[in-house]
Amino acid sequence: MRKKIAVLVLAAVMAISMAMPAFAGTGSWQKDSQGWWYLLDDGHYYSHGWFWIDGMCYFFDRNGYCLMNTTTDDGYTVNEQGQWILGGKIQYQSDYQ
């Protein structure tokens, strides 16, 4: 009986450890007096470049703030929510895979 319990516990531990990487790289949007930025779960944040978040692409400046309703340094357009716009349409990550 102890052997069965040990096997079940080991199987449960393995299942949980295999599921954890699915959460790696997640984060949350944050806002302060200067604007919106994206805090990663490891304490870092995106800065100076394009990053895919929840299937949409956003541009962050050198200070880590998301550009909104403007043209980026490299000449692309972002809407009022910071999402990359091309030809008047939001660009989705699934379109580029």
* 14 phi and psi angles, rounded to 5 deg: -65, -40
| Per-residue pLDDT at 54 | 96
What's the pTM value of the predicted model, to 2 decimals? 0.72
Q: Give me the residue spans of the domains in the chain.
A: 27-96
Q: Which residue has the tokens 């394009």?
A: 50
| Per-residue pLDDT at 97 | 87
Give the rounded percent of residues in the chain with a pLDDT score beyond 90. Answer: 72
| Per-residue pLDDT at 49 | 97
Beta bridge partners of 53: 56
| Per-residue pLDDT at 25 | 54
Domain 27-96: homologous superfamily in CATH: Cholin Binding (2.10.270.10)
Question: 91 by DSSP, 3-state: which?
Answer: coil
User: Cα–Cα distance between 19 and 2 in angstroms, integer?
Assistant: 26
* Spatial CA neighbour of 54 closest among 97, 82, 93: 93
| Environment class of 40 (CB within 10 Å of its CB; exposed 0-12, middle 13-18, buried 19+) | middle
